Structure 1
Amino acid sequence: MTLPHLRSAIVLALALSAALPTASRAAPLTTAPPAGQAAPALQWTDLEGRPATLAQWRGRPVLLNYWASWCGPCLKELPDLQRFSQAQTPLPDGVHVVGIALDDIDAATALRDQLQLTYPQLVESDGPPGSAAAFGNRIGTLPFSVLIDARGTVLQVHSGPLHPADLERWAAAARGAP
């Protein structure tokens, strides 16, 4: 690109950004749902192409983790979620981890197999923000996690990677939920 074309592109980009409403530029990354809000009825597709719903995990706390194969922080977080899932699965009140890949089935399956993820992986091909917007993630920040208690009430939401200490706090919060 020549210098005059570059200058024109920069001027155009600045003009377009100035034309955007101030409210949309200042919108927060996420807006947490009110404490105690019921999780919405959501449906995805599993890696075998079958429908899966959030309601199928009712009766046990659920950690929904939105991720994508092209998201570096997601790739770093997934092994921690795998270890957390393995520790929680045998517990009667353990948190059930469910991954929501914002990818196509082939990409999600390849990464699941590469990382040897054993907890359920679902896909949402809409891309960000998708169903995560129902939990306050209106711009599609990844990774994005939601903790839902056994009755289907949203307990916590988090933008960015969860670390092992965060996961332990979430497990304690899920156990302490009435």
Structure 2
Amino acid sequence: MALELCLRSTIALLLVAAGLIGGCDRQSGATQQAEGTNVAAAAPTSPAKLDKLDRSHKGETAPAISFVDSGGKKLTIADFRGKPVLLNLWATWCAPCVKEMPTLDALAVREGEKLQVLTVSQDFEAAKVAPFFAEKKFRKLQPYIDAETAFSTQLGVNLPTTILYDSAGREVWRILGDTDWAGGAAAKLIAEAR
């Protein structure tokens, strides 16, 4: 019985990992829409466009999923209430995720204390995250880790996915795919959480 449970858990984990890897490489077009959701594609303002804007979860409370900071302290999105939070789910092995990180850093610098940008790694090997941040020398981003991939698994999303929460911890929208966070279109969307 224990062996069967272990095998089922291993198979489920492998299926989740395969879904994350497969989703990361997929590039969504602006005209692609998720069936059954209120998805509106944003007009591209630069080569790095807003792939898919999803407002179908608007008003939902942020999940109480824990992640850790670089010091190992457990946190949840609720720990950042009082100002808007931009949650970015990414991984070091995900090319579109890595591509958008500098623009997330530029956004975090530009917004300062008005917006908390949380880049939560979905890497299974948490030891890869700190060296990645050290190499990239981000000015404002901090490494947060969800080594159990609870966010991407429980929310059923591919990487990268970015979710904006308002200052009360309610979802405003989510974007699937890499995005130019330093651009004007993103700034207008971020302003919706004020």
Alignment TM-score, normalising by the size of structure 1: 0.71
Q: Secondary structure at the match of 1:76?
A: helix
**Distance apart, 1:102 and its partner CA:** 1.0
Q: Unaligned 5+ residue runs, structure 2?
A: 1-33, 38-53
Residue 161, structure 1, aligned to residue 178, structure 2: yes
Q: Give, in whole Å, the separation in 1 of the partners of 2:153 and 2:35.
A: 11
**Structure 1 gap segments, 5+ residues each:** 1-27
CA spacing shift, 1:147–1:75, aligned 2, 3 Å: same
Q: Among residues 37, 55, 63, which one is paired with 2:60 in the alignment?
A: 37
* Larger Rg, first or second structure (1 or 2): 1
How many corresponding residue pairs? 140
Amino acid at match of 2:70: L
Q: Which residue of 2 aligns with 1:76?
A: 99
Partner of residue 144 from structure 2, selected from 84, 106, 122: 122
* Partner-residue secondary structure (3-state), 1:89: helix
Is it true that 1:145 corresponds to 2:162 in the alignment? yes
Aligned equivalents of 2:36 and 2:141: distance in 1? 26
| 1:55 and 2:78 are equivalent in the alignment | yes
Which residue of structure 2 lines up, in the alignment, with residue 65 of structure 1?
88
RMSD value over aligned CA atoms? 2.1
Q: State the distance in 2 between where 1:40 and 1:29 align.
A: 23
Runs of 4+ in 1 over 4 A off after TM superposition: 28-33
Range with greater deviation from structure 2 (162-171 or 75-84): 162-171
Q: Find the residue that maps to 1:125 and give its secondary structure.
A: coil
Give distance in 1, aligned partners of 2:153 and 2:167. 21
Partner Cα distance (1:95, 1:30) in 2: 31
Partner Cα distance (1:134, 1:145) in 2? 15
